[in-house]
Structure 1
Protein backbone atom coordinates (compact mmCIF):
# COMPACT_ATOMS: atom_id res chain seq x y z
CA UNK A 1 0.00 0.00 0.00
CA UNK A 2 1.34 3.42 -0.96
CA UNK A 3 1.46 6.17 1.65
CA UNK A 4 3.14 9.48 0.84
CA UNK A 5 5.22 9.26 -2.33
CA UNK A 6 8.22 11.55 -2.68
CA UNK A 7 11.16 11.66 -5.10
CA UNK A 8 14.78 12.68 -4.64
CA UNK A 9 18.34 11.87 -5.69
CA UNK A 10 20.05 8.65 -4.64
CA UNK A 11 21.57 8.58 -1.15
CA UNK A 12 23.94 5.97 0.25
CA UNK A 13 21.30 4.96 2.81
CA UNK A 14 19.14 3.71 -0.11
CA UNK A 15 21.59 0.97 -1.08
CA UNK A 16 20.27 -1.94 0.99
CA UNK A 17 16.66 -1.32 -0.10
CA UNK A 18 17.60 -1.05 -3.77
CA UNK A 19 19.85 -4.10 -3.63
CA UNK A 20 16.90 -6.06 -2.26
CA UNK A 21 14.77 -4.89 -5.22
CA UNK A 22 17.52 -5.94 -7.65
CA UNK A 23 17.88 -9.33 -6.01
CA UNK A 24 14.15 -10.05 -6.12
CA UNK A 25 13.51 -8.58 -9.59
CA UNK A 26 16.06 -10.86 -11.25
CA UNK A 27 15.61 -13.69 -8.72
CA UNK A 28 19.32 -14.08 -8.01
CA UNK A 29 18.63 -16.60 -5.26
CA UNK A 30 17.32 -19.03 -7.89
CA UNK A 31 20.78 -19.77 -9.24
CA UNK A 32 23.23 -18.99 -6.44
CA UNK A 33 23.55 -18.94 -2.66
CA UNK A 34 21.98 -16.18 -0.59
CA UNK A 35 25.39 -14.66 0.20
CA UNK A 36 26.40 -14.62 -3.47
CA UNK A 37 23.04 -13.12 -4.43
CA UNK A 38 23.56 -10.34 -1.90
CA UNK A 39 27.07 -9.56 -3.17
CA UNK A 40 25.92 -9.67 -6.81
CA UNK A 41 23.09 -7.22 -6.13
CA UNK A 42 25.58 -4.88 -4.44
CA UNK A 43 28.02 -5.11 -7.36
CA UNK A 44 25.23 -4.53 -9.89
CA UNK A 45 24.08 -1.40 -8.05
CA UNK A 46 27.65 -0.05 -7.84
CA UNK A 47 28.19 -0.72 -11.56
CA UNK A 48 25.05 1.25 -12.43
CA UNK A 49 25.96 4.13 -10.12
CA UNK A 50 29.32 4.43 -11.88
CA UNK A 51 27.59 4.84 -15.25
CA UNK A 52 24.92 7.43 -14.39
CA UNK A 53 24.80 11.21 -14.39
CA UNK A 54 21.27 11.45 -12.94
CA UNK A 55 19.24 9.52 -10.35
CA UNK A 56 15.75 9.69 -8.95
CA UNK A 57 14.57 7.47 -6.12
CA UNK A 58 10.88 6.96 -5.33
CA UNK A 59 10.10 6.77 -1.61
CA UNK A 60 6.99 5.33 -0.04
CA UNK A 61 7.13 7.17 3.26
CA UNK A 62 10.81 6.78 4.16
CA UNK A 63 11.37 3.54 2.23
CA UNK A 64 12.93 3.48 -1.27
CA UNK A 65 10.60 1.57 -3.62
CA UNK A 66 12.07 2.39 -7.02
CA UNK A 67 14.89 4.08 -8.86
CA UNK A 68 15.80 5.32 -12.30
CA UNK A 69 19.34 6.17 -13.39
CA UNK A 70 20.10 8.00 -16.59
CA UNK A 71 23.21 9.16 -18.40
CA UNK A 72 23.46 12.09 -20.77
CA UNK A 73 26.42 11.62 -23.09
CA UNK A 74 27.81 15.11 -22.50
CA UNK A 75 27.51 14.89 -18.70
CA UNK A 76 30.18 13.42 -16.42
CA UNK A 77 29.53 10.13 -14.64
CA UNK A 78 30.00 9.82 -10.88
CA UNK A 79 33.61 9.13 -9.88
CA UNK A 80 32.82 8.62 -6.17
CA UNK A 81 31.27 5.21 -6.90
CA UNK A 82 34.27 3.76 -8.72
CA UNK A 83 36.24 2.66 -5.65
CA UNK A 84 33.18 1.01 -4.01
CA UNK A 85 32.55 -0.77 -7.32
CA UNK A 86 36.13 -2.09 -7.43
CA UNK A 87 35.84 -3.28 -3.82
CA UNK A 88 32.54 -5.04 -4.59
CA UNK A 89 34.09 -6.79 -7.59
CA UNK A 90 37.18 -7.88 -5.65
CA UNK A 91 34.95 -9.30 -2.91
CA UNK A 92 33.32 -11.55 -5.51
CA UNK A 93 36.43 -12.51 -7.46
CA UNK A 94 37.95 -14.20 -4.42
CA UNK A 95 35.06 -16.70 -4.22
CA UNK A 96 34.56 -19.55 -6.70
CA UNK A 97 30.76 -19.46 -6.95
CA UNK A 98 30.81 -15.68 -7.18
CA UNK A 99 33.23 -15.87 -10.10
CA UNK A 100 30.88 -18.16 -12.03
CA UNK A 101 28.00 -15.73 -11.49
CA UNK A 102 30.13 -12.80 -12.65
CA UNK A 103 30.95 -14.80 -15.80
CA UNK A 104 27.24 -15.26 -16.56
CA UNK A 105 26.56 -11.54 -16.20
CA UNK A 106 29.62 -10.75 -18.29
CA UNK A 107 28.07 -12.82 -21.08
CA UNK A 108 24.82 -10.88 -20.80
CA UNK A 109 26.74 -7.60 -21.02
CA UNK A 110 28.36 -8.87 -24.23
CA UNK A 111 24.93 -9.56 -25.73
CA UNK A 112 23.75 -6.05 -24.83
CA UNK A 113 26.86 -4.54 -26.40
CA UNK A 114 26.33 -6.60 -29.54
CA UNK A 115 22.77 -5.29 -29.88
CA UNK A 116 24.00 -1.71 -29.54
CA UNK A 117 26.84 -2.19 -32.01
CA UNK A 118 24.48 -3.72 -34.57
CA UNK A 119 22.17 -0.73 -34.31
CA UNK A 120 24.95 1.66 -35.39
CA UNK A 121 23.16 4.71 -33.99
CA UNK A 122 24.85 7.56 -32.14
CA UNK A 123 22.68 8.00 -29.04
CA UNK A 124 22.87 11.06 -26.79
CA UNK A 125 21.71 9.26 -23.65
CA UNK A 126 20.93 6.00 -21.89
CA UNK A 127 18.58 4.74 -19.19
CA UNK A 128 21.24 2.97 -17.15
CA UNK A 129 18.97 1.30 -14.60
CA UNK A 130 15.27 1.23 -13.80
CA UNK A 131 13.59 -0.96 -11.18
CA UNK A 132 10.59 -0.94 -8.87
CA UNK A 133 9.48 -2.87 -5.85
CA UNK A 134 6.94 -5.40 -7.18
CA UNK A 135 4.28 -4.10 -4.78
CA UNK A 136 4.36 -0.66 -6.47
CA UNK A 137 3.94 -1.74 -10.07
CA UNK A 138 0.87 -0.47 -11.87
CA UNK A 139 0.47 2.46 -9.47
CA UNK A 140 2.09 5.20 -11.56
CA UNK A 141 5.45 5.17 -9.78
CA UNK A 142 7.34 3.83 -12.79
CA UNK A 143 5.70 6.33 -15.14
CA UNK A 144 6.64 9.22 -12.84
CA UNK A 145 10.27 8.08 -12.65
CA UNK A 146 10.42 7.67 -16.43
CA UNK A 147 8.89 11.13 -16.97
CA UNK A 148 11.47 12.69 -14.64
CA UNK A 149 14.27 11.07 -16.66
CA UNK A 150 12.76 12.49 -19.87
CA UNK A 151 12.78 15.97 -18.35
CA UNK A 152 16.42 15.51 -17.39
CA UNK A 153 17.30 14.47 -20.94
CA UNK A 154 15.49 17.51 -22.34
CA UNK A 155 17.39 19.80 -19.97
CA UNK A 156 20.62 18.22 -21.28
CA UNK A 157 19.46 18.62 -24.90
CA UNK A 158 19.44 14.86 -25.44
CA UNK A 159 17.68 13.98 -28.70
CA UNK A 160 17.59 10.20 -28.39
CA UNK A 161 18.41 7.56 -25.82
CA UNK A 162 18.37 3.79 -25.40
CA UNK A 163 18.08 1.08 -22.78
CA UNK A 164 18.66 -2.64 -22.44
CA UNK A 165 16.07 -5.02 -21.06
CA UNK A 166 15.12 -8.69 -21.38
CA UNK A 167 12.21 -11.11 -21.31
CA UNK A 168 12.42 -11.54 -17.53
CA UNK A 169 11.36 -7.90 -17.10
CA UNK A 170 8.17 -5.95 -17.79
CA UNK A 171 9.47 -4.72 -21.16
CA UNK A 172 5.92 -3.87 -22.27
CA UNK A 173 6.13 -0.86 -19.96
CA UNK A 174 8.68 0.76 -22.27
CA UNK A 175 6.43 0.30 -25.29
CA UNK A 176 3.58 1.97 -23.39
CA UNK A 177 5.91 4.93 -22.78
CA UNK A 178 6.56 5.29 -26.51
CA UNK A 179 9.87 3.46 -26.80
CA UNK A 180 10.60 1.39 -29.89
CA UNK A 181 12.24 -2.03 -29.87
CA UNK A 182 15.17 -1.84 -32.27
CA UNK A 183 17.20 -4.93 -31.42
CA UNK A 184 16.57 -8.46 -30.17
CA UNK A 185 18.55 -11.62 -29.53
CA UNK A 186 17.57 -14.92 -27.90
CA UNK A 187 20.04 -17.31 -26.35
CA UNK A 188 20.52 -19.87 -23.58
CA UNK A 189 21.64 -18.46 -20.25
CA UNK A 190 22.90 -20.97 -17.67
CA UNK A 191 21.20 -19.68 -14.53
CA UNK A 192 20.65 -22.78 -12.44
CA UNK A 193 18.88 -24.55 -15.29
CA UNK A 194 19.41 -23.96 -18.99
CA UNK A 195 17.01 -21.17 -19.88
CA UNK A 196 16.25 -19.38 -23.12
CA UNK A 197 15.98 -15.63 -22.70
CA UNK A 198 15.41 -12.79 -25.12
CA UNK A 199 17.44 -9.61 -24.81
CA UNK A 200 16.13 -6.33 -26.20
CA UNK A 201 17.39 -2.91 -27.17
CA UNK A 202 14.85 -0.07 -27.01
CA UNK A 203 15.20 3.51 -28.20
CA UNK A 204 13.33 6.77 -27.77
CA UNK A 205 13.34 9.88 -29.93
CA UNK A 206 12.69 13.07 -27.96
CA UNK A 207 10.53 15.53 -29.86
Structure 2
Protein backbone atom coordinates (compact mmCIF):
# COMPACT_ATOMS: atom_id res chain seq x y z
CA UNK A 1 0.00 0.00 0.00
CA UNK A 2 1.33 3.43 -0.95
CA UNK A 3 2.43 5.54 2.03
CA UNK A 4 0.19 8.53 2.72
CA UNK A 5 0.99 11.41 5.04
CA UNK A 6 -1.91 12.14 7.39
CA UNK A 7 -1.97 15.39 9.33
CA UNK A 8 -4.41 17.09 11.71
CA UNK A 9 -4.44 20.88 12.00
CA UNK A 10 -6.71 23.74 12.98
CA UNK A 11 -9.05 25.05 10.29
CA UNK A 12 -7.99 28.24 8.49
CA UNK A 13 -10.17 30.77 6.66
CA UNK A 14 -8.86 29.57 3.29
CA UNK A 15 -10.30 26.13 4.08
CA UNK A 16 -13.85 27.48 4.07
CA UNK A 17 -14.64 27.11 0.36
CA UNK A 18 -13.34 23.51 0.07
CA UNK A 19 -15.29 22.58 3.22
CA UNK A 20 -18.42 24.25 1.85
CA UNK A 21 -18.13 22.14 -1.31
CA UNK A 22 -17.64 19.06 0.88
CA UNK A 23 -20.85 19.86 2.79
CA UNK A 24 -22.80 20.28 -0.47
CA UNK A 25 -21.47 16.96 -1.77
CA UNK A 26 -21.86 15.00 1.47
CA UNK A 27 -25.51 15.91 1.93
CA UNK A 28 -26.21 16.00 -1.82
CA UNK A 29 -27.74 19.48 -1.66
CA UNK A 30 -28.16 19.62 -5.43
CA UNK A 31 -30.67 16.75 -5.38
CA UNK A 32 -33.15 18.32 -2.95
CA UNK A 33 -32.49 22.07 -2.85
CA UNK A 34 -33.46 24.47 -5.67
CA UNK A 35 -30.35 25.44 -7.63
CA UNK A 36 -30.34 29.10 -6.57
CA UNK A 37 -30.50 28.07 -2.89
CA UNK A 38 -27.86 25.33 -2.85
CA UNK A 39 -24.93 27.49 -1.82
CA UNK A 40 -26.84 29.89 0.50
CA UNK A 41 -28.44 26.99 2.41
CA UNK A 42 -25.16 25.10 2.68
CA UNK A 43 -23.46 28.30 3.88
CA UNK A 44 -26.17 28.88 6.49
CA UNK A 45 -25.70 25.31 7.76
CA UNK A 46 -21.90 25.43 7.78
CA UNK A 47 -21.47 28.95 9.18
CA UNK A 48 -23.98 28.21 11.95
CA UNK A 49 -22.02 25.11 13.04
CA UNK A 50 -18.63 26.81 12.78
CA UNK A 51 -19.85 29.82 14.74
CA UNK A 52 -20.88 27.53 17.60
CA UNK A 53 -17.62 25.55 17.57
CA UNK A 54 -14.44 26.37 19.49
CA UNK A 55 -12.46 23.34 18.27
CA UNK A 56 -12.32 22.92 14.49
CA UNK A 57 -9.82 20.45 13.08
CA UNK A 58 -8.97 19.58 9.49
CA UNK A 59 -7.62 16.17 8.44
CA UNK A 60 -5.20 16.29 5.53
CA UNK A 61 -3.93 13.42 3.39
CA UNK A 62 -0.82 14.32 1.41
CA UNK A 63 -1.65 17.99 1.91
CA UNK A 64 -5.23 17.71 0.65
CA UNK A 65 -8.29 18.31 2.81
CA UNK A 66 -9.79 14.92 3.65
CA UNK A 67 -12.14 15.68 6.55
CA UNK A 68 -13.30 18.08 9.22
CA UNK A 69 -14.44 17.83 12.83
CA UNK A 70 -16.00 20.76 14.69
CA UNK A 71 -17.32 20.87 18.24
CA UNK A 72 -17.44 22.93 21.39
CA UNK A 73 -17.53 22.97 25.15
CA UNK A 74 -20.94 24.22 26.25
CA UNK A 75 -20.05 27.21 28.36
CA UNK A 76 -23.25 29.11 27.64
CA UNK A 77 -26.04 29.34 30.18
CA UNK A 78 -29.50 27.79 30.30
CA UNK A 79 -30.90 31.20 29.32
CA UNK A 80 -28.67 31.30 26.25
CA UNK A 81 -29.83 27.82 25.22
CA UNK A 82 -33.43 28.87 25.83
CA UNK A 83 -32.87 31.98 23.69
CA UNK A 84 -31.35 29.87 20.89
CA UNK A 85 -34.51 27.74 20.78
CA UNK A 86 -36.66 30.87 20.70
CA UNK A 87 -34.56 32.42 17.91
CA UNK A 88 -34.86 29.28 15.77
CA UNK A 89 -38.62 29.12 16.37
CA UNK A 90 -39.01 32.81 15.48
CA UNK A 91 -37.06 32.36 12.24
CA UNK A 92 -39.28 29.41 11.35
CA UNK A 93 -42.41 31.48 12.03
CA UNK A 94 -41.14 34.31 9.82
CA UNK A 95 -40.37 31.90 6.99
CA UNK A 96 -43.76 30.23 7.33
CA UNK A 97 -45.39 33.63 6.85
CA UNK A 98 -43.20 34.79 3.96
CA UNK A 99 -42.25 31.52 2.21
CA UNK A 100 -44.86 28.96 3.20
CA UNK A 101 -43.71 25.44 2.38
CA UNK A 102 -40.23 26.44 1.17
CA UNK A 103 -37.34 24.02 1.52
CA UNK A 104 -35.55 26.49 3.81
CA UNK A 105 -38.58 26.65 6.08
CA UNK A 106 -38.45 22.85 6.33
CA UNK A 107 -34.73 23.02 7.11
CA UNK A 108 -35.36 25.45 9.98
CA UNK A 109 -37.97 23.00 11.28
CA UNK A 110 -35.27 20.31 11.44
CA UNK A 111 -33.19 22.68 13.57
CA UNK A 112 -36.13 23.04 15.94
CA UNK A 113 -36.51 19.27 15.98
CA UNK A 114 -32.84 18.90 17.01
CA UNK A 115 -33.44 21.15 20.00
CA UNK A 116 -36.59 19.16 20.88
CA UNK A 117 -34.49 15.98 20.95
CA UNK A 118 -32.16 17.53 23.53
CA UNK A 119 -35.10 18.58 25.69
CA UNK A 120 -36.64 15.11 25.31
CA UNK A 121 -33.47 13.47 26.59
CA UNK A 122 -33.66 15.42 29.85
CA UNK A 123 -29.86 15.42 29.95
CA UNK A 124 -27.24 18.10 30.46
CA UNK A 125 -23.93 17.85 28.59
CA UNK A 126 -20.54 19.52 28.77
CA UNK A 127 -19.89 19.61 25.03
CA UNK A 128 -21.30 19.00 21.58
CA UNK A 129 -19.89 17.50 18.39
CA UNK A 130 -21.32 19.72 15.67
CA UNK A 131 -19.79 18.38 12.45
CA UNK A 132 -17.76 15.36 11.36
CA UNK A 133 -17.19 14.67 7.65
CA UNK A 134 -14.63 12.60 5.78
CA UNK A 135 -14.20 12.97 2.02
CA UNK A 136 -15.54 9.82 0.34
CA UNK A 137 -12.26 9.13 -1.47
CA UNK A 138 -10.44 9.00 1.89
CA UNK A 139 -12.95 6.91 3.84
CA UNK A 140 -11.59 3.64 5.22
CA UNK A 141 -8.29 5.20 6.36
CA UNK A 142 -9.44 5.73 9.93
CA UNK A 143 -9.72 9.50 9.56
CA UNK A 144 -13.17 9.66 11.11
CA UNK A 145 -11.95 7.88 14.24
CA UNK A 146 -8.82 10.06 14.31
CA UNK A 147 -10.88 13.26 14.21
CA UNK A 148 -13.40 11.88 16.71
CA UNK A 149 -10.69 10.86 19.20
CA UNK A 150 -8.99 14.23 18.81
CA UNK A 151 -12.24 15.96 19.78
CA UNK A 152 -12.70 13.67 22.80
CA UNK A 153 -9.17 14.47 23.95
CA UNK A 154 -9.91 18.19 23.59
CA UNK A 155 -12.96 17.80 25.83
CA UNK A 156 -11.03 15.84 28.48
CA UNK A 157 -8.17 18.33 28.47
CA UNK A 158 -10.65 21.12 29.22
CA UNK A 159 -12.52 19.27 31.95
CA UNK A 160 -15.57 18.21 29.93
CA UNK A 161 -16.87 14.74 30.70
CA UNK A 162 -19.86 14.33 28.39
CA UNK A 163 -21.02 15.43 24.95
CA UNK A 164 -23.84 14.95 22.46
CA UNK A 165 -24.44 15.15 18.74
CA UNK A 166 -27.34 15.20 16.31
CA UNK A 167 -27.44 12.86 13.32
CA UNK A 168 -30.02 11.26 11.03
CA UNK A 169 -30.67 8.11 9.05
CA UNK A 170 -29.19 9.62 5.88
CA UNK A 171 -25.81 9.76 7.62
CA UNK A 172 -23.45 7.02 8.81
CA UNK A 173 -24.90 7.13 12.32
CA UNK A 174 -23.68 3.56 13.00
CA UNK A 175 -20.18 5.08 13.27
CA UNK A 176 -21.15 6.76 16.53
CA UNK A 177 -22.54 3.53 17.93
CA UNK A 178 -19.20 1.86 17.16
CA UNK A 179 -17.48 4.60 19.16
CA UNK A 180 -19.56 3.69 22.20
CA UNK A 181 -22.12 6.47 21.96
CA UNK A 182 -25.69 5.87 23.13
CA UNK A 183 -28.85 6.84 21.23
CA UNK A 184 -30.86 8.95 23.68
CA UNK A 185 -33.78 10.25 21.61
CA UNK A 186 -35.35 9.87 18.18
CA UNK A 187 -37.95 11.75 16.14
CA UNK A 188 -39.43 11.38 12.66
CA UNK A 189 -39.44 14.41 10.38
CA UNK A 190 -41.87 14.74 7.45
CA UNK A 191 -40.38 16.66 4.56
CA UNK A 192 -43.79 16.56 2.84
CA UNK A 193 -46.95 17.81 4.51
CA UNK A 194 -48.94 14.80 3.36
CA UNK A 195 -48.03 11.13 3.27
CA UNK A 196 -44.97 9.33 4.61
CA UNK A 197 -43.00 8.93 1.38
CA UNK A 198 -40.39 11.49 2.31
CA UNK A 199 -39.58 11.00 5.98
CA UNK A 200 -36.28 11.11 7.84
CA UNK A 201 -35.29 9.90 11.30
CA UNK A 202 -33.34 12.30 13.51
CA UNK A 203 -31.30 11.06 16.46
CA UNK A 204 -29.61 12.44 19.55
CA UNK A 205 -26.53 10.50 20.66
CA UNK A 206 -24.60 11.09 23.86
CA UNK A 207 -21.52 9.82 25.66
CA UNK A 208 -19.72 10.06 28.97
CA UNK A 209 -15.96 10.32 28.47
* Correspondent of 2:119 among 105, 117, 120: 117
Alpha-carbon RMSD = 2.4
Equivalence map 1:35-74=2 (5 Å): 35-74=36-75
> In the aligned structure 2, how far is the partner of 1:164 from the partner of 1:26?
15
Change (3 A) 1:140 1:2: farther
Task: Say if 2:163 is the partner of 1:161.
Answer: yes
Q: Which residue of 2 aligns with 1:173?
A: 175
Q: Which has the larger radius of gyration?
A: 2
> 1:139 Cα shift?
1.5
TM-score of the superposed pair, with normalisation by structure 1: 0.82
User: How much has 1:32 moved relative to structure 2?
Assistant: 2.2
SS in 2 for 1:186: strand
The match for 1:142 among 137, 141, 144 is 144
User: Does the 8 Å CA contact 2:110/2:189 hold for their aligned counterparts?
Assistant: no
The yes-or-no answer on 1:23 pairing with 2:24 is yes
Q: 1:200 aligns with which of 193, 203, 206?
A: 203
Q: Is the 8 A contact 1:17 1:63 kept in 2?
A: no
* TM-score normalised according to structure 2 size: 0.81
Give the superposition deviation at 1:100. Answer: 2.5
Offset at 1:194? 4.8
Partner of 2:35: 34
Q: Deviations over 1:142-192 (max 9, x none)?
A: 00000000000001111111000000000000001110001111131249x
How has the CA–CA distance of structure 1 residues 123 and 36 changed in structure 2, closer, same or farther, with 3 Å as cutoff?
A: same
Q: Which sections of structure 1, spanning at least 5 residues, go unmatched?
A: 76-92
| Runs (5+) with no aligned partner, structure 2 | 77-94
Instruction: Give 1:4's aligned residue.
Output: 5
CA distance in structure 2 between the partners assigned to 1:105 and 1:10 by the alignment: 26
Partner of 1:133: 135
Give 3-state SS (helix, strand or coil) of 2:198's partner: strand
Deviation above 4 Å: which 4+ runs of structure 1? none
1:2–1:60 Cα contact (<8 Å) kept: no
> How far apart are residue 101 of structure 1 and its match?
3.0
